[in-house]
Structure formats: structure tokens, C-alpha cells
Amino acid sequence: MSSSPNIFSGLKVLDIASFIAGPAATTILSDYGADVIKVEPPGLGDPQRLFHLAPPNPTSPVNYAWELENRNKRAIVLDLKSPDAVEILHRLVRWADVLVTNYPPKVRQALGLTYEALTALNPRLIYADVTGYGAAGPEADKPGFDITAFWARSGLMDVIHDAASAPTLPVPGIGDHATATALYASIVTALYVRERTGKGGHATTSLIAQGVWAAGSWVEGALHGARFYGQHEREAPPSALVNPYRTSDGRWILPCVLQPKDWPGFAAAIDRPDLLQDPRFADVSARVTNSAALVEILDALFVTETLAHWREKLDAARVTFGVVQTMDEVVNDPQMLINEVLLPLAEPNGTATHTVNSPVQVVGFTKVPPRRAPRLGQHTDEILSELGFDDAARARLHDIRTVVAASD
């Protein structure tokens, strides 16, 4: 919690979710001052605590993913399967303004975590859930990760690899973080409705809905019967001017010459004004027909100079392009630091001095300085005390293992 007022100061959030999408949505709320209580099961807690040990994720003695998704939260270990957990859960629900869960519908029913059951206890509650494949239909209870639901099922994975290669695995969490932002937007929309009506509501989204939304420009094309070019072939793409090229120092640069008016400037920037007179590249249609020939020319050209050379040339001519950066370059990118895409940590965390900022920015409001994510059960007794459980009640709950504290 923040000691200074912020957008969500005083907002009470119950995070009964695991892995990434749900917890990341509550992280955005915590960034602006919400008091977030993270509820985890006994044992290992949220499986996200093991992210840094699961291939193909980078290995580290610091659980970096846990720190990112759960900063600024308090943590309680609660066995929701225990009959003695019911009263604790109900007090937490009455305390909360927002509850976030990603448990499948059948699990929610078994644990008493349904929208109907909890809003009966707290009519002002914003109940927010996220699923893999939506809350209805035959796959409502089907487990889904961002790789399976967001990437594969949405069609995104089919178009992010070259025609000659198999589908490749994206960075885990891309779809989760996109979905978390959508869930956050749904929660804030529901809070706005509550301000107007005094009533809580049900905010929801799914990984598959966000995946289709992310691929929406092409999915909409499929809905309209558009003709697709097929999977990308770097040596013969639909457009040689939106294509990656290798430089002499082994780096990749991606010109993005989308508009016909940009073609003369690009040709001048690479010192090949003669290409403008070549009938094979006279207009967009000709450049599409002869894309393989243009790629061959550009391949031979870009590989003669370093990335630094081409950056200078293209920047000077104001040609739009991208550099394929490594992760080490990303975390040292001055533009990321100046714009607080990477945010300074409030507390030391191994060798890290910064963390990844959430993308929601409201000018005039400073986010809570990011604190360490909680240890498993770190705030169990503190939270139980705030809920009105006295020493004897807390001791009994510990004895029967309904709750667990960090020192247990």
C-alpha cells in the first residue's frame, strides 16, 4: 500500500488467481495504490513461483517473473478446500471492492467462488474472471495457457514463422500480459458503472478473445473472405520493403517502408536511386511481383555494412525501421529508461535496479514505487488480524493447516 494518495488508494483487491493474466491485472491496480491481497494454496503456492525454473525460461536465482507479476501485494496462504476456510473467504469478500480469479468454472463452483455466491455477500463487489477459452460452451473448463489459447488457437502462431519452418514458441506471457490489460480495462469499466449505480458487476475476458483481438486485422479479413498471401518467406515476401535483412556484423534490421511515397526516400537513403528507374520496381504492384529480385539486391547491400552504419543512414533520411534487439539491449535501452518503460525498484532485488512497468499511464499520477513481491504466506497473520480473527482463532487455523504463515 502507498502512504500518499493515488488513483486507487483505498481500493481493496482480492487476487485469487494464478500464473500471469489475473495477477498481472491486479498488479496494474496496485501500481496506482490499490491494496491487493494475494491468496495462495498451501504447499508451493501459485505455480508462478516456479516460473524461473521451468524451461525454456531463463534460469536465475531470483524468481524474476514472480517479482514482476506480484509486486506491491500482500500474501496469505489459505486452503480453500478446508471447511474452516469459508468464514475467512467470506470476510475477505466483504472486505474487497474487486475480486479476480482464473479458476475454471467447475472449480469455482466446488470452492464457492462463483459470481452468484460472492456477490450475494457483497453486492458492490466487482467480480473479475479470466478464462482460456471463454466461460461458456464445451471448452469452458479446458485448461489454457497463452501459448495454447492466445497464440495457437487464435491463428497468431500460424503466421509468425516463415513458410519453410515449423511454428516457434513465443516468449511466455505475451498473451497473458495483453489479456491482463484487457481484464484491467474491464475492471475499471465496472468500477465506473458502480460509481454511477452503486452496484457491483461481473468483468470478464479470455485468452482466446484477446488473441483474436490481437490478430483482429487479419481475422476480420478472413471474415470478409480476403485472399491471404500465406506464411512469410523472407527471400520472396509479399513486400521486400517490410522484411528483415542481415548486416555485416550479424545483426538484423527491419525496414518498414509501407507507403508508396516512402519508396524514393528509402532508395536515396541506401544510396540506390537507380532502383527508382528499374521497371521491376516501378510501382507497388511491380515490387510485389518482383519481391524476390528486390530482396536479393537488398540482401547483398545490407550485408556490406554494420548495423550502426544503416541506423545512421536510415535515421538521417527519416526512414521507418526497427532493430531486432536482444534482451540485454532492451534492458539498457535509453528510450526505455527515459520513458519509464523500465521502472526503478524501490527495494534492491539481486542485481536488478529496475522492473518492467505496466503500460497504463495517467499523466499527473506517479505510480507506487515497486516493492518486492511477497514471500509465501508472508502476511497471513496480519491479514487475519485485520479481518477480526483473534490470537486464539489464528492459532487454531494454523494448527489445522487452513492457513499458513511464512514462518510455518
Average pLDDT over residues 208-222: 96
Average pLDDT over residues 98-107: 95
Q: How many CB atoms lie within 10 A of CB 243?
A: 22
pLDDT of residue 3: 53
pLDDT of residue 190: 98
> What phi and psi values does residue 393 have, to the nearest 5 degrees?
-65, -40
CA 12 distance to own-chain centroid: 22
pLDDT of residue 335: 97
54-77 pLDDT tens trace: 889 999 999 999 999 999 999 999
CATH topology (fold) of 12-215+332-404? Rossmann fold (3.40.50)
Residues of the chain with CATH 3.40.50.10540: 12-215+332-404
Average pLDDT over residues 80-89: 97
361-384 pLDDT tens trace: 999 999 999 999 999 999 999 999
The two beta strands, 252-255 and 321-323, are antiparallel
pLDDT of residue 161: 87
Cis peptide bond upstream of 61, omega within 30:
no
Q: What is the DSSP letter of 65?
A: H
pLDDT at 24 over 90: yes
Of 182, 194, 80, nearest to 131 (Cα)?
182
pLDDT of residue 267: 98
pLDDT of residue 395: 96
pLDDT of residue 349: 79
pLDDT at 2 over 50: no
pLDDT of residue 1: 43
Q: Are 205 and 179 in contact (CB under 8 A)?
A: yes
**Per-residue exposure over 376-387, b if at least 16 CB sit within 10 Å of its own CB, e if not:** bbbbbbebbeeb
Average pLDDT over residues 39-47: 95
CATH architecture classification, 245-323: 2-Layer Sandwich (3.30)
pLDDT of residue 408: 78
> What phi and psi values does residue 2 have, to the nearest 5 degrees?
-100, 145
Q: How far apart are CA 117 and CA 34, in angstroms?
A: 24
265-298 pLDDT tens trace: 999 999 999 999 999 999 999 999 999 999 999 9
Give me the chain's average pLDDT, please.
95
pLDDT at 344 over 70: yes
Largest CA distance in the chain: 88
Q: What is the DSSP letter of 256?
A: B
Cis peptide bond upstream of 83, omega within 30:
no
pLDDT at 4 over 70: no
103-149 pLDDT tens trace: 999 999 999 999 999 999 999 999 999 999 999 999 999 999 999 99
Residues of the chain with CATH 3.30.1540.10: 245-323
> Which residues, at least 6 apart from 218, have a Cβ–Cβ distance to it below 8 Å?
155, 159, 226, 228
Q: What is the DSSP letter of 48?
A: G
pLDDT at 19 over 50: yes
